[in-house]
């Protein structure tokens, strides 16, 4: 080695050593993708007791568990106790008393349900921000078509649930009939995979609204002959389909550019309760008890969202809108009232400003839920320290300092929200319209 090359080598080494920490810093600070792809997978009728990473004793969801391990698992996410109101909150980012999406029948003629023309829904906001938008699966209870609500492409069916072995579906407004029965979760899956592939070059938002695991619980293509109870097969099929979506995103090299969320639209159906750590959740689907609306929420975005984290931050279904809008750089219309608190900072590993309480409504019933307390429409207070298993009513006469303070806080929240001043009692009108519509067929 000549003196000159030795010098050059030394300088290079020195530069490497000096720059190494800088390079490491740069890697950590590398600009994140400005507009991540967003895939929101929504299972139907799946409470905490249906997902093993939430402690379910009986149900096994290894692929969803793996997704949770790769990201953050939120322990206290609140949807609504039924499909329709949950999906309306998700699309609109607003509480039910504001939109009218208060029951499963709200969307029907004569019902108070939200109309796309009166809202600024999440898919429209993302579309305006340059996203390709797609909806796959169950839609009906939101009303109109997915296109009306901002989805460029969609595949759906006319049912409120259980579109399994059938001979047709609706794709982009066209009825498609198949000569033989097909397993529609497969068709919806293929549509979703194809949507992801076709839009890999631009940011996309896929709202994947699975029919699984809503009843009727039927055999899946993977069910073995002789099986009598197909519920676990349905759970396994849902889990497998989630894995296939994740695998496709990985295969396309989009994993670090894609936020994948997995959730459920309401608690587990009444027929399929299962224990968590040997205890049953208090309340199932359709109930105003904890198990009616508390649902799993998993967010995975490798390189951005902390991995293996369990968060106790409260999330409302209305919050998806502000979160996705923030991540996608979508502008919210000025002067329009949303009830949406972004948890985008938490997804980036920051503290953020988590909401202090969740709001849940079904028809003329509602509650606000803090970490340790809950107050309903009758201003009854519940000690939620042992939720989701127990919710203990606390009489004002038995108040402790803590319950008294909670009572004051939640009374104030309800007074400010004033749900009774909004839409709460049109559920009957919708149900009436539904009944009238069904009559000629009887
Ligand atoms: Ca449901």
Residue 45 CA, ligand 1 centroid: distance in Å: 4
Residue 266 has pLDDT above 90, yes or no: yes
Decide: helix, strand or coil at residue 313. Answer: strand
Residue 214 CA, ligand 1 centroid: distance in Å: 7
Q: What is the DSSP string of 191-244?
A: HHHHHHHHTTTS-EEEEEE--TTPSS----TTPPTT----HHHHHHHHHHHHHH
Provide the pLDDT confidence category of residue 23 given band limits of 50, 70 and 90: very low
Residue 265 CA, ligand 1 centroid: distance in Å: 5
Residue 439 has pLDDT above 70, yes or no: no
- Give me Rg for the CA atoms of the chain: 24
pLDDT in tens, 184-199: 999 999 999 999 999 9
pLDDT in tens, 367-394: 999 999 999 999 999 999 999 999 999 9
Smallest Cα–Cα separation from 423: which of 143, 95, 107, 142? 95
Residue 171 CA, ligand 1 centroid: distance in Å: 22
Residue pair 44/138 in contact (Cβ under 8 Å)? The answer is yes
Residue 159 CA, ligand 1 centroid: distance in Å: 12
pLDDT attached to residue 305: 98
Residue 426 CA, ligand 1 centroid: distance in Å: 20
Residue 99 CA, ligand 1 centroid: distance in Å: 19
pLDDT attached to residue 433: 52
Element (H, E) at 429: helix 427-438
Residue pair 357/314 in contact (Cβ under 8 Å)? The answer is yes
Residue 166 CA, ligand 1 centroid: distance in Å: 20
pLDDT attached to residue 440: 37
Residue 16 has pLDDT above 60, yes or no: no
pLDDT attached to residue 428: 52
Residue 212 CA, ligand 1 centroid: distance in Å: 9
Residue 201 CA, ligand 1 centroid: distance in Å: 33
Look over the chain and give the mean of its residue pLDDT values, rounded to a whole number: 91
Contacts 24+ apart (CB under 8 A), 66-69: 66/243, 67/242, 67/246, 67/260, 67/262, 67/298, 67/300, 68/298, 68/300, 69/307, 69/308
Residue 47 CA, ligand 1 centroid: distance in Å: 10
Query: What is the DSSP pairing of strand 204-209 with strand 37-43?
Result: parallel
pLDDT attached to residue 9: 47
Residue 376 CA, ligand 1 centroid: distance in Å: 22
Residue 8 has pLDDT above 90, yes or no: no
Residue 293 CA, ligand 1 centroid: distance in Å: 10
User: Lowest-pLDDT range, 32-46, 121-135, 257-271, 335-349?
Assistant: 32-46
Residue with the two structure tokens 């080695």: 1
Provide the pLDDT confidence category of residue 142 given band limits of 50, 70 and 90: very high
pTM over 0.85: yes
Provide the pLDDT confidence category of residue 7 given band limits of 50, 70 and 90: very low
All domains of the chain in start order, with CATH: 37-355 (3.40.720.10), 365-437 (no CATH)
């Amino acid at each position: 080695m000549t003196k000159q090359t030795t010098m050059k080598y030394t300088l290079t080494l020195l530069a490497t050593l000096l720059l190494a920490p800088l390079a490491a810093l740069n890697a950590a600070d590398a600009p994140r993708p400005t507009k991540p792809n967003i895939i929101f997978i929504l299972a139907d009728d799946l409470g905490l007791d249906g997902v093993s990473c939430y402690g379910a004793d009986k149900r096994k969801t290894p692929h969803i568990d793996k997704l949770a391990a790769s990201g953050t698992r939120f322990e206290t996410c609140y949807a609504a106790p039924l499909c329709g109101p949950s999906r309306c909150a998700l699309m609109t980012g607003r509480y039910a008393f504001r939109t009218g999406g208060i029951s499963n029948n709200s969307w029907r003629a004569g019902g108070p349900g939200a109309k796309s023309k009166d809202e600024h829904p999440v898919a429209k906001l993302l579309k305006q921000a340059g996203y390709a938008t797609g909806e796959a699966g169950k839609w009906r209870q939101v009303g109109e078509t997915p296109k009306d609500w901002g989805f460029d492409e969609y595949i759906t069916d006319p049912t409120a649930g259980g579109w399994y072995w059938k001979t047709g579906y609706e794709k982009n407004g066209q009825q498609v009939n198949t000569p033989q029965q097909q397993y529609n979760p497969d068709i919806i899956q293929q549509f979703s995979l194809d949507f992801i592939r076709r839009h890999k070059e631009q940011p996309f938002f896929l709202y994947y609204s699975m029919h699984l695991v809503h009843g009727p619980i039927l055999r899946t293509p993977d069910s073995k002959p002789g099986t009598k109870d197909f519920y676990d097969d349905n759970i396994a099929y849902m889990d497998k389909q989630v894995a296939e979506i994740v695998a496709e995103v990985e295969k396309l090299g989009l994993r670090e550019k894609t936020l994948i969320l997995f959730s459920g639209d309401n608690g587990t159906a009444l027929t399929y309760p299962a224990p968590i750590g040997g205890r049953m959740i208090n309340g199932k689907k359709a109930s105003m008890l904890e198990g009616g609306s508390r649902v799993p929420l998993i967010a995975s975005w490798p390189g951005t969202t902390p991995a293996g984290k369990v968060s106790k931050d409260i999330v409302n279904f209305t919050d998806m809108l502000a979160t996705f809008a923030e991540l996608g750089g979508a502008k919210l219309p000025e002067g329009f009232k949303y009830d949406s608190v972004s948890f985008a900072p938490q997804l980036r590993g920051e503290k953020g400003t988590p909401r202090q309480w969740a709001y849940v409504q079904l028809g003329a019933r509602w509650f606000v839920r803090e970490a340790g307390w809950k107050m309903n429409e009758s201003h009854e207070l519940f000690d939620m320290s042992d939720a989701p298993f127990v919710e203990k009513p606390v009489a004002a006469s038995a108040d402790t300092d803590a319950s008294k303070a909670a009572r004051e806080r939640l009374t104030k929240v309800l007074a400010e929200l004033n749900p009774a001043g909004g839409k709460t009692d049109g559920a009957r009108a919708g149900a009436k319209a539904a009944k009238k519509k069904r009559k000629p067929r009887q």
